[in-house]
């Protein structure tokens, strides 16, 4: 199965330029995807693009990850309704370092591999490239009419668009040209919102007499219920464990709906078609086992984090969602407790507050830890029978004593099925 066929059955192909498939079949080429250094970590939206590069590499081609050190300073108007804030060089450098680590985890960068992945930064060729040179050597080849026809530009004609953002496609197009010229890069991949930018590149390459260049894009990942992919109430789901703990990361995938899980397992795992078909079939026979979600979460968590992180996440999930009760919780040592609940939000409470024996549960849940925003919210939770202390439902506001503590210093608070919080007494 060639690269494009692979993407096609996985539902990862949105648009493709004619001739791309033939060109890729004929020879092994280099291809690239750009990543914006807007944060020091990528989130799972970018994971789609990384997977694309991984497939590309597995098909024998050479993946290039371009970090937009220069373009990050300009800002891509695609899909943005407002002018973007610009980043400075120092921020971008810091962000690049973080992103690099994440890419290296997934793609094979070892130079002993013939088609090893490569990381480039477009700042390297834009630094020192004067404005005059740029508009003379590059701008000359692309007409204003061509630029104005772009959706990203058209949709901003009403609200306004700075010259800076207007020039963006041209800058990204030049990246493609440079990679084409210097690294025989023949294809640019990316999200469907990048189509306009990508074809500006192929156009530029044609005008400047490079080798034939191609393009393919991935569809926007959606969720069946219409909410945005990769978001939770806490914000984006990041690849960086400090921003999104492995436990939360694992939980994000475990919570995917059936419909989404079928889609995601094709996109985010490398499992072959037969295995996935089999999994889907089994899942439909015994949906309550949630094989799809488990396999999906397992595979991605290992790829992004590690086997150990997965084990811990599963263990934590079993305790939090399994049949476990306060009894099994009480048996945990402090070490196990901490390891298991690593990703659960925590807050410290002064141990001495327990002394009088009059510290109420509500005070801990609201004032001391901020787990719930107000006492009203706490009362509501009691009324709904949705509040648990150490896995036991609570129906009244009770005074907390040292006897309630797990491993001598923790309280496991819970609102509803999925929201946990740990109060640590120290």
Smallest separation (angstroms) from RNA to the CB of 411: 18
Strand pairing class (62-67; 118-121): parallel
Q: What is the tally of helices (H) and strands (E) in the chain? A: 20, 13
Q: How far apart are CA 417 and CA 350, in angstroms?
A: 27
User: According to CB under 7 A, which one of 317, 324, 326, 347 is a site residue for RNA?
Assistant: 317
Choice between 35 and 371, CB closer to RNA = 371
Nearest distance from residue 88's CB to RNA, in Å? Answer: 28
**Which residue among 80, 380, 409, 424 contacts RNA (CB under 7 A)?**
380
Specify whether the backbone of 160 is left (phi greater than 0), alpha (psi in -120 to 50) or beta.
left
Give the binding range for RNA (CB under 7 A) out of 108-116, 163-171, 274-282, 374-382. Answer: 374-382
Binding residue (CB under 7 A) for RNA from 38, 324, 347, 386: 386
DSSP helix/strand/coil, 177: helix
- Residue 6 · residue 191 · CB < 8 Å: no
Give the 3-state secondary structure of residue 91: helix
Which residue's entry shows tokens 């390891």? 339
Q: How far is the CB of 303 from RNA (least distance, A)?
A: 19
Least distance to RNA, CB of residue 365, Å:
11
**Nearer to RNA (CB atom), residue 176 or residue 341:** 341
Secondary structure of 243-288 in HEC code, one letter for each residue: CCCHHHHHHHHHCCCHHHHHHHHHHHCCCCHHHHHHHHHHHHHCHH
Q: Which of 100, 377, 409, 424 binds RNA (CB under 7 A)?
A: 377
Longest Cα–Cα distance in the chain: 82
Scanning 28-36, 80-88, 222-230, 271-279 for contacts with RNA by CB under 7 A, the matching segment is: 222-230
Residues 6+ apart with CB under 8 A from 88: 73
Measured from the CB atom, the residue of 194 and 251 that comes closer to RNA is 251
Closer of 192 and 255 to RNA (Cβ) = 255
Tokens 């084990």 found at: 311
Mark the segment that binds RNA (CB under 7 A) among 82-90, 109-117, 171-179, 373-381. Answer: 373-381
**Six token digits for residue 188:** 């640019």
Task: Identify which range of 37-45, 111-119, 238-246, 316-324 contacts RNA by CB under 7 A.
Answer: 316-324
Instruction: Say what angle helices 291-304 and 307-321 make with each other, to 10 degrees.
Output: 140
**CB nearer to RNA: pick between 5 and 278:** 278
In angstroms, give the least distance from the CB of 290 to RNA.
4
Site membership for RNA, residue 288 (CB under 7 A):
yes
Complete DSSP assignment for 287-331: GGG-HHHHHHHHHHHHHHS-HHHHHHHHHHHHHHHSS--HHHHHT
Tell me the site size for RNA, rule CB under 7 A: 36
Regarding 258 and contact with RNA (CB under 7 A), the answer is yes
387-390 long-range contacts, Cβ below 8 Å, gap at least 24?
387/413, 387/414, 387/415, 388/412, 388/413, 388/414, 389/361, 389/413, 389/414, 390/326, 390/329, 390/330
327 alpha-carbon distance from chain centroid: 37
Q: Which of residues 17-76 bind RNA (CB under 7 A)?
A: none
Q: Which stretch binds RNA (CB under 7 A): 27-35, 59-67, 186-194, 384-392?
A: 384-392
Which residue in the set 281, 321, 355, 398 belongs to the binding site for RNA (CB under 7 A)? 321
Q: Which of 148, 224, 327, 330 binds RNA (CB under 7 A)?
A: 224
Is position 272 an interface residue for RNA (rule: CB under 7 A)? no
Single residue of 287, 370, 399, 408 touching RNA by CB under 7 A: 287
Considering the rule CB under 7 A, would residue 281 count as an interface residue with RNA? Answer: no
Minimum distance between the CB of residue 321 and RNA, rounded to whole angstroms? 4
Cα–Cα distance for residue pair 155/78, rounded to 1 Å:
9
* Strand, coil or helix: 232: strand
Query: Binding of RNA at residue 323 (CB under 7 A)?
Result: no
147's tokens: 């630029």
Query: Any contact of residue 417 with RNA (CB under 7 A)?
Result: yes
Of the residues 46, 299, 415, 420, which one makes contact with RNA according to CB under 7 A: 415
- Residue 347 in contact with RNA, rule: CB under 7 A: no
Distance from C-alpha of 170 to C-alpha of 299, rounded to nearest angstrom:
38
Quote the least distance from Cβ 86 to RNA, whole Å. 22
Of 255, 306, 324, 346, the one binding RNA by CB under 7 A: 255
Nearer to RNA (CB atom), residue 79 or residue 416: 416
Binding site for RNA (CB under 7 A): 224-225, 227, 233, 251, 254-258, 287-288, 290, 293, 317-318, 320-321, 366, 373-377, 379-381, 383-386, 415-419
């Amino acid at each position: 199965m060639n690269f494009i066929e692979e993407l096609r059955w996985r539902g990862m192909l949105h648009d493709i330029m004619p001739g791309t498939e033939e060109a890729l079949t004929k020879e092994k080429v280099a291809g690239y995807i750009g990543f914006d250094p807007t944060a020091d970590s990528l989130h799972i939206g970018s994971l789609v693009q990384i997977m694309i590069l991984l497939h590309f590499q597995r098909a024998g081609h050479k993946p290039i990850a371009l970090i937009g050190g220069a373009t990050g300073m300009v800002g891509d108007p695609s899909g943005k309704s407002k002018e973007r804030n610009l980043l400075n060089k120092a921020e971008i450098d810091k962000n690049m370092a973080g992103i690099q680590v994440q890419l290296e985890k997934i793609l094979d960068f070892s130079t002993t591999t013939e088609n090893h992945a490569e990381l480039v930064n477009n700042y390297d060729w834009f630094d020192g490239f004067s404005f005059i040179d740029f508009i003379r050597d590059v701008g000359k080849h692309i007409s204003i009419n061509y630029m104005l026809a772009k959706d990203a530009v058209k949709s901003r004609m009403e609200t306004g668009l700075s010259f800076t953002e207007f020039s963006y496609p041209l800058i990204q197009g030049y990246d493609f040209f440079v990679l084409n010229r210097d690294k025989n890069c023949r294809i640019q991949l990316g999200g469907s919102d990048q189509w306009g930018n990508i074809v500006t590149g192929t156009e530029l390459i044609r005008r400047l007499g490079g080798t034939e260049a191609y393009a393919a894009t991935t569809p926007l990942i959606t969720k069946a219920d219409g909410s945005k992919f990769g978001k939770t109430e806490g914000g984006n789901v990041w690849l960086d464990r400090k921003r999104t703990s492995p436990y939360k990361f694992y939980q994000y995938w475990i919570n995917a709906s059936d419909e989404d899980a079928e889609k995601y397992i094709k996109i985010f795992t490398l499992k072959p078609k037969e295995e996935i078909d089999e999994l889907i079939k089994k899942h439909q026979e015994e949906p309550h086992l949630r094989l799809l979600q488990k396999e999906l979460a397992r595979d991605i968590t290992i790829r992004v984090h590690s086997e150990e992180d997965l084990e811990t996440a599963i263990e934590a999930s079993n305790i939090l969602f399994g049949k476990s009760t306060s009894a099994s919780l009480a048996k945990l040592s402090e070490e196990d407790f901490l390891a298991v609940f690593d990703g659960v939000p925590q807050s410290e409470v002064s141990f001495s507050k327990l002394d009088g024996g009059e510290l109420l549960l509500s005070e801990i849940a609201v004032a001391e830890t901020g787990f719930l925003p107000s006492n009203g919210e706490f009362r509501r939770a009691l009324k709904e029978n949705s509040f648990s202390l150490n896995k036991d439902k609570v129906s009244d506001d009770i005074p907390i004593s040292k006897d309630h503590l797990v491993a001598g210093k923790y309280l496991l608070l819970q609102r509803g099925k999925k929201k946990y919080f740990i109060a640590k007494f120290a």
